[in-house]
Amino acid sequence: MTNNTIEFIMAGRRQRRRRWILVTSLLAALAFMLCCAMLLLGNTIYPAKDVLRALSGEQLKGISFAVSTIRLPRMLAGLFAGFAFGIAGYTFQTMLRNPLANPNVIGITSGSSAAAVFCILVLQTSGAVVSLAAVIAGLVTVLFIYILSRGKSFSIGRLILIGIGIQAMLDAVISYFLVVGSERDIPSALRWLTGSLNGSQMRELPPLVIIVVICTPILIVLGKHLSILELGEQSASSLGVDTDKTRIALIVSSVCMVAIATATTGPIAFVSFLAGPIAVRLVGVGSSNAIPAGLVGINLVLASDLIGQFAFEYRFPVGIITGLLGAPYLIFLLIRMNRKGEL
């Protein structure tokens, strides 16, 4: 390898690094501005200095309650859930080498949702019980899908098809729970199923925050292997990657994040589906886009929630807005993959 070739490769790496830093910084700045907007905007728009005073613990009539009890939990729920959906969706899509292989499409979110709805409507529980049930159900769902998709050899196409079938079955289970559940609890369950930040409370957030803090470093550290896993089983193994252990660690961490986020805010549609492709388009290939994907997830959730609150005559849950954004992209992706013969 000549010196010119080495210099060319190093220059490309430096350029990709600069682009990664620039895009990530801009996404972080946008997320910060959206967080500020979530705290400032509402039925009453409060000055920034009064919001800061309320956040510092000073008691201001009307403002302290609105900011600390309503707006702050709503903003934090969107922040951590959006990051969890974004980074987990990117991990699944990259690891399985298919944009359709994300928790929304292959049934993992539906598994967590079914468990959470069962707890809400049948057991009439909430909080930690719902979070634990959602995590367990998400892990069981992905394990079941993974076992069924292996056959003689692991097949991504088979995994996606089985996941779609499992999702349809779990959606039917959710519908059954809605039919037999208590009429008193059905409205809250329906609001939760659309994906909503309404009614977020500080006491519900610790499990989500803890899981995100624990699992994010795992996904970042193992994220350097994602590009190798994209090369295929044999290539990754020949390069020294323990594909089974790496994949299991990535799947468990991602499922835990998606399940807890789903238990906290409901299954906010298409965030995990959109975040990864948007991050890759902004940053480019050749580097780990886990953090940018998480930041895109934050921006999607917070921006969609603000649109749902203030852009229309009636207020809509965040899941409806993200669904309107994601559904056309899903159709476009299916058409493009069909033309390429990938379906």
The DSSP secondary structure of 134-152, one letter per residue, reads HHHHHHHHHHHHHHHHHTT
Burial 182-195 (b: 16+ CB within 10 A, else e): eeebbeebeebbbb
Rg of the chain on CA atoms, in Å: 21
pLDDT of residue 270: 86
Nearest to 51 by CA among 61, 40, 65: 40
Burial 221-258 (b: 16+ CB within 10 A, else e): ebbebbebbeeeeeebeeeebebeebbebbbbbbbbbb
d(CA 340, CA 181): 45
pLDDT of residue 221: 85
Cβ atoms 248, 98 nearer than 8 A: no
| CATH code, domain carrying 190 | 1.10.3470.10
Say if 330 falls within a structural domain. yes
Say if 207 falls within a structural domain. yes
Q: In tens digits, what is the pLDDT along the chain, a chain of 343 residues? A: 566 666 666 676 777 788 889 999 999 999 999 999 999 988 888 888 888 888 888 887 878 888 888 899 999 999 999 999 999 999 888 887 777 777 777 788 888 888 888 888 888 777 678 778 888 888 888 888 878 877 666 667 777 788 888 888 988 988 888 887 777 777 777 777 888 888 888 888 988 999 999 999 998 888 777 666 666 666 666 656 666 677 788 888 888 898 888 888 888 888 988 888 888 888 877 667 889 999 999 999 999 999 998 888 888 889 889 988 887 877 777 777 667 655 5
What is the per-residue pLDDT across 46-69, written as a single tens digit (0 to 9) for each? 888 888 888 888 887 878 888 888
Say if 40 falls within a structural domain. no
pTM equals 0.88
Query: How is residue 47 annotated by DSSP?
Result: P
pLDDT of residue 336: 73
What is the per-residue pLDDT across 120-140, written as a single tens digit (0 to 9) for each? 888 877 767 877 888 888 888
Say if 42 falls within a structural domain. no
pLDDT of residue 64: 84
pLDDT of residue 121: 83
d(CA 266, CA 168): 17
Domain count, the chain: 1
Say if 20 falls within a structural domain. no
Domain of 218 in residue numbering reads as 77-339
Q: What single-letter amino acid sits at 209? A: V
Say if 324 falls within a structural domain. yes
Say if 318 falls within a structural domain. yes
pLDDT of residue 97: 76
Nearest to 96 by CA among 276, 239, 257: 276
d(CA 229, CA 248): 13
Say if 35 falls within a structural domain. no
